[in-house]
Amino acid sequence: MELNMNDILLFKTDIRTEGDKRLIAKVMQEYKIANWTVDQDDIDCVLRIVSSQLKLHDVINLVVHNGYQCEELT
Amino acid sequence: MRIRDVNKVELVKEKAIELLVKVGFEGFTMGKLAKECGISVATLYIYYKDKDDLILQVGMEETERMGVLMLEDFDPEATFAVGLRQQWKNRAKCMLENPLSVQMIEQLRTSTYQEKIFERLIETFKSTLGRFMHNAVQRGEIEAMPLETYWSVAFAPLYNLIRFHNEGRSLGGKPFVLTDEVLWGTFDLVLKALKK
């Protein structure tokens, strides 16, 4: 199935360790965000979310609120 | 809706193979790849979830492409000499025309990606080549032998010639270019070794 590229949201974060990732996993679960990954090999720890409902600022607010940096990856 | 740009995906694939061969898995980063391609890192993340996903997808697609080329026009029901000659022809062509892919696949073969990437391919090869060998034994063209023995005698000489060729040197640093004469001369010896 072809993804709609407008549904792919990309962020620069500091979700760097396994512990960070576990914490974010809980948050994602709580907000029923299923389709997300963090590239912890990357210097920018890129958070990638596929969703047709979420907006960029929703995710930024959510992640920042939980104590991590999060800005749009351009 | 933006659509997946096929040319860009092909460019990413080509550059990813180059970069993997040049810097290895450890040195490979999405940032370096984006720079090589002249695109933004964000674009890479549209196509791939992360570095692992990228290496797996590129590795799988390339391995599959090479697998198809290697079995092109090969009929497992053919006589032993005809079938083996076709395989030598396909393998030589495929490996000489895609030296970077060959190197990347060799790197993958000894990596943690190995299992996921080669699982499917090995099944196809095992069943097709297994049938070919079985037919040759049934017809009394070759002795029964373990698949590993067969594989080593049938293909290791070819792979070695190609390695010499790609490195441009043979034993003791002597310059080497693989000619048809050397290739098929070696093939005849392999055929002689395997045939009853």
Q: In A, residues 24-53, which contact B (CB 8 Å cutoff)? A: 37-44, 46, 48
Phi and psi angles of residue B140, each rounded to the nearest 5 degrees, phi first = 75, 20
CB pairs under 8 A between A and B: 50
User: What is the token pair recorded at A6?
Assistant: 């407008």
Q: Would you call A73 and B46 a contact, using CB atoms and an 8 Å cutoff?
A: no
> Which CATH number goes with the domain that contains B19?
1.10.10.60
Helix (H, G, I), strand (E, B) or coil at A65: helix
Minimum mean pLDDT range among A15-24, B33-42, B120-129: B120-129
Query: What value does the mean pLDDT take over residues B128-137?
Result: 92
Nearest residue of B to residue A38 by CA position? B50
pLDDT tens-digit readout, B58-100: 999 999 999 999 999 999 999 999 999 999 999 999 999 999 9
Which of B2, B29, B45 has the CB atom closest to A73's CB atom? Answer: B45
Q: How distant, in Å, are the alpha carbons of A5, B19, B45, B46 from that of B5?
A: 11, 21, 14, 11
Residues B182, B89, single domain; the answer is: yes
Residues B43, B66, single domain; the answer is: no
The pLDDT, as a whole number, for residue B5 is: 72
Helix (H, G, I), strand (E, B) or coil at A48: strand
B54 lies in some domain: no
The pLDDT, as a whole number, for residue B1 is: 42
Tell me the nearest-neighbour CA distance from A43 into chain B, angstroms.
8
Q: Would you call A5 and B3 a contact, using CB atoms and an 8 Å cutoff?
A: yes
pLDDT tens-digit readout, B141-159: 999 999 889 999 999 999 9
Residues B71, B162, single domain; the answer is: yes
**Amino acid sitting at position A44:** D
- Give the integer Cα–Cα distance in Å for B132 and B49: 40
B150 lies in some domain: yes
Residues B111, B178, single domain; the answer is: yes
B52 lies in some domain: no
- DSSP code string of B58-123: HHHHHHHHHHHHHTTT--TTS-HHHHHHHHHHHHHHHHHH-HHHHHHHHHHHTSTTHHHHHHHHHH
pLDDT tens-digit readout, B169-193: 999 999 999 999 999 999 999 999 9
Residues B99, B18, single domain; the answer is: no
Least Cα distance to B61 among B121, B3, B20 occurs for B121
Contacts of B47 in chain A (CB under 8 A): none
In the numeric block, the tokens 């032993």 are attached to B80
The tally of domains found in chain B comes to 2
The pLDDT, as a whole number, for residue A3 is: 67
Which of A37, A38, A74 has the CB atom closest to B40's CB atom? Answer: A74
The pLDDT, as a whole number, for residue B117 is: 87
Q: Can you give the residue range of the structural domain that contains B123? A: 60-194
H/E element, A62: helix A56-65
Residues B174, B97, single domain; the answer is: yes
- DSSP code string of A16-40: -SHHHHHHHHHHHHHTT--SEEEET
pLDDT at B3 over 60: no
Which of B4, B40, B45 has the CB atom closest to A48's CB atom? Answer: B45
Q: Would you call B46 and A10 a contact, using CB atoms and an 8 Å cutoff?
A: yes
Residues B163, B79, single domain; the answer is: yes
In the numeric block, the tokens 């590795």 are attached to B59
**Amino acid sitting at position B94:** C
Q: Mean pLDDT score of chain B, rounded to an integer?
A: 92
Beta carbons within 8 Å of B112's beta carbon, 6+ residues apart: none
B91 lies in some domain: yes
pLDDT at B6 over 80: no
- Give the integer Cα–Cα distance in Å for B176 and B97: 17
Query: What value does the mean pLDDT take over residues A21-30?
Result: 95
The pLDDT, as a whole number, for residue B82 is: 97
Q: Would you call A5 and B30 a contact, using CB atoms and an 8 Å cutoff?
A: no
Q: Would you call B45 and A43 a contact, using CB atoms and an 8 Å cutoff?
A: no
